Structure 1
Amino acid sequence: MTIQFNKNQRPAVPARLYGVLAKELKNTNPSNANAITLNFRDPDYSAESGGYHPVEVRLEKQNEIWRMIYMTDFAFQGQPYPELAKEIDICFNSHQVYSAFSGWLNPHHGKELVDLFIKNFISYYAMDAYQVEVSLD
C-alpha cells in the first residue's frame, strides 16, 4: 500500500524525511488505521553513556492523506534519577517548536532548530543508529 503524505505542511518537512517514513512504512497496511506512531530508538542509549536520543513521529489520516502531527526528540534529564523528557518537540498543527532550553518558539525562531534537528535525525537514521517500531491506532 502506498502512503500519500501531505507535503504542504508548515514547518516544511524535507523530502528526505518523507523518504525515511515511507521506507519504514512500506510493509505496513494502515488501511483501517487513523493514526501511525513511529518510534526510533537507539537500544544502547542511556543516561550514563549517552547515545542517540529516541525520536517519535506521529501521523494521522485526514481525507485519505497522512499528515505529520508531531516529531519529538526525547533525552534523559534530571538528577539524581534521570527520566526521559521532551527535548525538542515540533508541532505541525500549531506551527510551533518547543525546546527544553527555551520553551515554545514561533515558526520563524524555530526554523533553524527544526532544520538542524531533522538533518541530524536523517543522518543518524542513515547510519542505522535506530531500531524502529511502528504502531497503528
Structure 2
Amino acid sequence: MRILYEDLPLPVTKGFCEQLSQLLINRVNQQPREATINFSSPHYSAKGGGYHPVEIRLERSGHSWTICYITDFGYVGQGQDVELAKSLDFDFQAGMFQDLSGYYPIETAAMIYPIWEENFLEYWLVMNVFDIEVT
C-alpha cells in the first residue's frame, strides 16, 4: 500500500507514510477507496490537557493513496464554553492550512509541519499514547 508524498506542498516524510501504510495493512481487510484514521488519547481533557486527537484522511487512486488532510484537534475556550476545535489543519486537497488564528495557503505551514510530524510520530510510535480507530 503506497501513500504518495513526493509532490506534496509540505515536507511529509517517507517514514510517516510508511507507518500509516503499515497501520492500514494491519487494520483493513480489503482495499477500501478511502480511510479515516483517528488517533485519540483517552486521558486528554480540557482541564488536564494531554495529547491532542488527530484525524488523517486518505483516499485511494488506482494502486496508490493520497493524503487528503491531517487535522490536529485541541480544546479552546474556558469554563462552560470549552470545545474541541481544529488546532492545526493541513488540508492537502484544498491547499489550505488552518490554525487558531485563521486560514492560509498550505505552503505557509512548511516550517511547522516537520515539527508537528516529528512530535506526532514520537507520541504514536514511541510513547504509544493513542487509541487508534480506522474507518
Q: TM-score, normalising length from structure 2?
A: 0.88
Query: Percent identity at matched positions?
Result: 33
Query: Which amino acid letter does the alignment assign opposite residue 71 of structure 1?
Result: I
Partner in structure 2 of residue 113 of structure 1: 112
Query: Which amino acid letter does the alignment assign opposite residue 75 of structure 1?
Result: G
Distance 1:36 1:60 in 2: 6
What's the secondary structure of 1:40's corresponding residue?
strand
Distance 2:129 2:90 in 1: 21
Partner in structure 2 of residue 56 of structure 1: 55
How far is 1:119 from its partner?
A: 1.2
Q: Any stretches of 5+ residues in structure 1 without a counterpart? A: none
Distance 2:39 2:2 in 1: 21
Check conservation: 1:11, 1:95, Cα contact below 8 A.
no
| Aligned counterparts, 1:15-94, within 5 A | 15-27=14-26, 28-31=28-31, 33-81=32-80, 82-94=82-94
Q: Any stretches of 5+ residues in structure 2 without a counterpart? A: none
Rate the CA distance shift 1:42–1:124 in 2: closer, same or farther, 3 A: same
Higher helix share: 2
Distance 1:30 1:18 in 2: 19
How many residues align structurally?
Answer: 131
Distance 1:68 1:30 in 2: 19
Partner in structure 1 of residue 4 of structure 2: 6
RMSD: 1.5
What's the secondary structure of 1:16's corresponding residue?
helix
What's the secondary structure of 1:37's corresponding residue?
strand
